[in-house]
Amino acid sequence: MQAEVKIDELIIGTGKAAERGALITAHYRGWLEDGTEFDSSFKNAAPFQTVLSNKRVIQGWILGLQGMCEGGKRKLWVPAELAYGERQIGNMIPANSNLIFEIELLEVLTR
């Protein structure tokens, strides 16, 4: 059985839709399943900007954000195999961790 990202639409956006390869700007928070927050763009007081590509973000973000429109907010449940798999990330994300993200899409710039 193939791993899938579970998506919960919290707010449906009305702007441009995100697609693979697009430059996006977003605010997000990330948690482990036990509720431990491991990252947040709010801590940096600046939104996160990245390209939706395998070289920049985890597969779970690419799958979970495609089709999401500017102004939207989603909660993503990302299984370990679509996140970091067997790799431990720093001291915050143990190997084989399922991750939860709440992402607010602020802007989409297509290529």
User: Does residue 50 belong to any structural domain of this protein?
Assistant: yes
Q: How far apart are CA 12 and CA 74, in angstroms?
A: 8
Mean pLDDT of 8-22: 95
Q: Is 38 a catalytic residue?
A: yes
User: Does residue 1 belong to any structural domain of this protein?
Assistant: no
Look at residue 62 in the predicted model and tell me its pLDDT.
95
Q: Is 100 a catalytic residue?
A: no
The residue from 28, 62, 93, 103 that is catalytic is 28
Q: Is 48 a catalytic residue?
A: no
Host H or E run for residue 61 = helix 59-65
Structural domain range at position 99: 6-31+39-106
Task: Give the torsion sign (CA, 47, 50, 56, 57).
Answer: positive
Q: How far apart are CA 7 and CA 108, in angstroms?
A: 19
Give the 3-state secondary structure percentages of the chain, helix then strand then coil, rounded to 5. Answer: 10, 40, 50
Look at residue 42 in the predicted model and tell me its pLDDT.
87
- Which CATH number do you get for residue 72? 3.10.50.40
Give the total number of structural domains in the chain: 1
The residue from 24, 62, 84, 103 that is catalytic is 84
Look at residue 89 in the predicted model and tell me its pLDDT.
94
User: Does residue 81 belong to any structural domain of this protein?
Assistant: yes
- What's the pLDDT band for 111 if we cut at 50, 70, 90? low
User: Does residue 26 belong to any structural domain of this protein?
Assistant: yes
User: Does residue 111 belong to any structural domain of this protein?
Assistant: no
pLDDT digits (tens, 9 = 90+) for 53-110: 988 999 999 999 999 999 999 999 999 999 999 999 999 999 999 999 999 999 999 7
User: Does residue 67 belong to any structural domain of this protein?
Assistant: yes
User: Does residue 13 belong to any structural domain of this protein?
Assistant: yes
Q: Is 8 a catalytic residue?
A: no
Higher-pLDDT residue of 25 and 55 is 25
User: Does residue 82 belong to any structural domain of this protein?
Assistant: yes
